[in-house]
Amino acid sequence: MNTTTLVDFPSHDPATGEVIARFRNSSKEEVDAAVSRARASTQAWQALGFNGRKKILVAWDAVLTKRLEELAALVARETGKPLSDATLEISLAIGHLDWAAKNASKYLSPVSRNPGLIMANMKARVERAPYGVVGVIGPWNYPVFTPMGSIAYSLAAGNTVVFKPSEYTPGVGEWLGETFAEVAPFPDIFQVVTGLASTGEALTSSQIDKIAFTGSTRTAKRVAAAAGERMIPTVLECGGKDPVIIDKDANIKKAAEFALWLAMSNAGQTCIGAERVYVHHEVADHFIREIGAMAAEIHPGVNKNYGPATMPSQLNIIQSHIDDAAAKGAKFLIGGTDSVQPPYVQPTIMLDVPEDSLAITDETFGPTLTINRVHDMDEAIRLANATKYGLGASVWSRRNGEKIASKLVTGMVSINSVIGFAGIATVPFGGVKDSGYGRIHGPEGLHEFTYLRSVVSERFALPIAFTTFKRTKFADRFITSVMKFLH
């Protein structure tokens, strides 16, 4: 199907398949026009300064807070997730928006630098300048929280933003655009272009100055290649295969409870969700007993523990991972090869899963978990790192948590907890390897949406000059003597 020729497209309730609304499939011309309008607003947005922008972003935050229930209902409708999960997601996003608005000035203001002895007559500073127009391409699994990590930090830094939400959650995207417009002092600071993949492609190849993408590694590579053609920087938040590592001195009951939630919540559609457990053989039976008993109480359904697969095509991937593991000899603690019951997937926990199974090597993005026993923590670390991904990890140990965490090749790690790093506004979020690069959240997330500009100026003139064709022999001797003295 040529998606560029479609004028509009529907969004669906993933639980029933019912059409919720129709949205514009924005064409390349429409995307280019939005980017041009954003460009025209950039100077006025930057001229407001940190304080002016803070006022607008805090006002937007207040609208999101006041209408939290309304937005949560929309998120729940378009993604199928329970209302309570939608509420938690939006609450975290509100926290990030507030933090970015209030801390941009602190972390992005110019910093003076020491010019050094030889250049003592100069003064030097480093500025952080906004790129201009940032394109944000968002996913459907956390349609508020995830793009907000790029939208809020870009805007606070002084960029204007054109946001393309996922085709599965266009209503949420439009809602964000409309509520921002209510508090904006002038138009086109933050615009939303709904559409299919072709709209995302159009945004990537438009005249934007930076692109922030969240989604699959496959699409991220296409986005990065297109950005490379135009020499624009990217921040890529892609998938993961996050491990949970459990040492023999861990609080087993707590580890089981939290690992289960991390694997199953949001129907497993979480980039930093648990997909693999490596547990010390001495406590493995205990852990498996605990997690098995708790998993038996978890059920998918409308406003149950988790909802349907938001993207129907994901069900085929989940099925293929389960089938492959079963064919390779994995055992099932909970669920089985009949776990996929569209649009839901029953909780599925697999034991003794061969390390070359798809359920170990590839992102499943479903409510499934593998549990493999290890002899010691060195083996757990080796297996945890033996993946193409490197997003997050969770480590459970009373004494060795820090030591294990320090050896993991991941962008984030929680010790005796899960995904704490996503909720703490001051720490950066992002991965390594196929999980992407660049960071959102925290001071680093603000830095991500600026480029560095070094500014130096003369404080007083020296009696001898070096950067001129009139440089004298005395100046040469002087610089040689000073360097020999200093070094």
- Which active-site residues does the annotation give? 237, 271
d(CA 101, CA 243): 33
Contacts with ligand NDP, 344-363, as mask; x by CB under 6 A: -------------------x
Rounded to the nearest 10°, the torsion over CA 170, 176, 177, 180 is: 180
Instruction: Provide the minimum distance between the beta carbon of 149 and ligand NDP in the complex, in angstroms, as a whole number.
Output: 11
Question: Is 223 an interacting residue with respect to ligand NDP (CB under 6 A)?
Answer: yes
Question: Is 214 an interacting residue with respect to ligand NDP (CB under 6 A)?
Answer: yes
Which of 27, 41, 191, 219 lies at the binding interface for ligand NDP (CB under 6 A)? 219
Residue at 162: amino acid letter? V
Q: Tokens in use for 104?
A: 């941009």
SS3 category, 472: coil
Which DSSP helix (H) or strand (E) runs through 372? strand 368-374
Which of 204, 234, 372, 394 lies at the binding interface for ligand NDP (CB under 6 A)? 204
d(CA 52, CA 185): 10
Residue 437's closest CA among 412, 407, 411, 414? 411
Listed ranges 12-20, 152-160, 162-170, 465-473: which one lies at the site for ligand NDP (CB under 6 A): 162-170
Rounded to the nearest 10°, the torsion over CA 446, 448, 453, 459 is: 40
Which of 101, 238, 262, 318 lies at the binding interface for ligand NDP (CB under 6 A)? 238
Instruction: Provide the minimum distance between the beta carbon of 139 and ligand NDP in the complex, in angstroms, as a whole number.
Output: 3
Question: Is 421 an interacting residue with respect to ligand NDP (CB under 6 A)?
Answer: no
Q: Are 173 and 148 in contact (CB under 8 A)?
A: no
Residues between 259 and 318 that touch ligand NDP (CB under 6 A):
271, 311, 314, 317
d(CA 206, CA 135): 9
Contacts with ligand NDP, 363-402, as mask; x by CB under 6 A: x-x-------------------------------------
Question: Is 197 an interacting residue with respect to ligand NDP (CB under 6 A)?
Answer: yes
Considering only CA atoms, give the Rg of the chain.
Answer: 25
Q: Are 234 and 438 in contact (CB under 8 A)?
A: yes
Contacts with ligand NDP, 82-121, as mask; x by CB under 6 A: ----------------------------------------
Question: Is 448 an interacting residue with respect to ligand NDP (CB under 6 A)?
Answer: no
d(CA 253, CA 344): 27
Question: Is 188 an interacting residue with respect to ligand NDP (CB under 6 A)?
Answer: no
Would you tell me which residues interact with ligand NDP (CB under 6 A)? 137-141, 146, 164, 166-167, 196-197, 200-201, 204, 214-216, 219, 222-223, 237-239, 271, 311, 314, 317, 363, 365
